[in-house]
Structure 1
């Protein structure tokens, strides 16, 4: 795989086309993600790459209200996830965090603090948050590869626009300071080895400064297939 760490601007552009989790047992993971209700959002593939502690990223589900948050969290726990942060109100809304059996951290949240209707079981948005050492440098790196910055808050957070297709099942990319992300999730920031996640690129393969691997995207195969 080609390795690119230069921040020199390139002619081609890149967007996030898919997210694949590397798991030790794809069949077990597939059953979990089907029960969790996100099997159409991610891909799975087998890997025994060593990985310890915090893997440096989280997948976040944005939903319509607290009842829907509770529904997703309950489904995850019933399927074998470990609660890291019980669903609760916060300054920004309502949310909870769970650790999937394969080691992936998932956050489910809403900006609403009160329900305006019953739980829908629907996902409004999926965001892949990468924990990086330097948000500004990582933002420049990705902008040089053609990703469009949609929102940015100094050296704390940056979010990129979704791919042009905007199809159902798309995942948005965002950057967060690694230590701040770990704190938000309720886990220690220390970790080593493989991130156990591969990002599908619409452009050429590369590896970013924080070790996240991008591969040329193949047609996405849902976790349930």
Structure 2
């Protein structure tokens, strides 16, 4: 059956206010994220919580052109990131995937396939993609918490509207599909090693992602 996208026209009443990554060494992680150029978008918290394999999420940077993808990608690798998918052209544009030394997976991409200018260090959008078992159930859960659905593709993907002051947008993706897109096995256990600050927290979603009240 073909799936169609639905678009919301109302503003979101709940949104992500912060993203906190739980890391073994906050100082080392801070140095990495500063060099990568995303330190303004994440918070860091010391944690030794057990985690193995895929943690079930990625943070995706959308930028304006391939040269900017390469700039962020190179900065991450130079600072110690592991390449999971080299930056390359695809049907949808240009992008690649890296894993930070703390284990967090980052995707950097653009819909543009050709450069129209030099590289910048500007980020157009950051999306927190959660890998979930049931996208439709997750969508209902978050809509019930006050998030407005911006786009939805059946049981494959759902994206929520962000607040005007929110730097990060939330989206849900089938866990297996997300892992495949990132180039990693879908298996994983233990802590997600991420805490999301929201205007309607605290709560834990059906897939175990923890939210806390925004500071």
TM class by smaller structure: over 0.9
Which residue of 1 is the match for residue 171 of structure 2? 174
- Unaligned runs of at least 5 residues, structure 2: 1-12
* 1:137 matches 2:142: no
Whole-angstrom CA distance in 2 between matches of 1:204 and 1:33: 26
Q: Give the TM-score, by structure 2 length.
A: 0.93
Which residue of 1 is the match for residue 127 of structure 2? 127
Whole-angstrom CA distance in 2 between matches of 1:175 and 1:204: 18
**2:187 equivalent among 182, 187, 190:** 190
Whole-angstrom CA distance in 1 between matches of 2:17 and 2:133: 24
Which residue of 2 is the match for residue 69 of structure 1? 69
Which residue of 1 is the match for residue 44 of structure 2? 44
* 1:215 matches 2:203: no
Shift of 1:33: 0.0
How many residues get paired?
Answer: 203
Which residue of 2 is the match for residue 95 of structure 1? 95
Whole-angstrom CA distance in 1 between matches of 2:198 and 2:211: 6
Shift of 1:14: 2.9
Whole-angstrom CA distance in 2 between matches of 1:106 and 1:203: 26
Which residue of 2 is the match for residue 148 of structure 1? 148
Whole-angstrom CA distance in 2 between matches of 1:29 and 1:146: 32
Secondary structure of the 2:186 match is coil
Whole-angstrom CA distance in 2 between matches of 1:203 and 1:143: 12
Whole-angstrom CA distance in 1 between matches of 2:121 and 2:201: 36
Which residue of 2 is the match for residue 206 of structure 1? 203
Shift of 1:159: 0.3
* 1:27 matches 2:27: yes
* 1:58 matches 2:58: yes
Alignment of 1:107-122 (within 5 A): 107-122=107-122
Secondary structure of the 1:203 match is coil
Q: Extract structure 1 runs of 4+ deviating beyond 2 A.
A: none
Shift of 1:54: 0.2
Secondary structure of the 1:131 match is strand
Whole-angstrom CA distance in 2 between matches of 1:135 and 1:185: 18
Whole-angstrom CA distance in 1 between matches of 2:55 and 2:171: 16
Whole-angstrom CA distance in 1 between matches of 2:138 and 2:75: 34
* Structure 1 vs Structure 2 CA RMSD: 0.8
Does the 8 Å CA contact 2:201/2:214 hold for their aligned counterparts? no
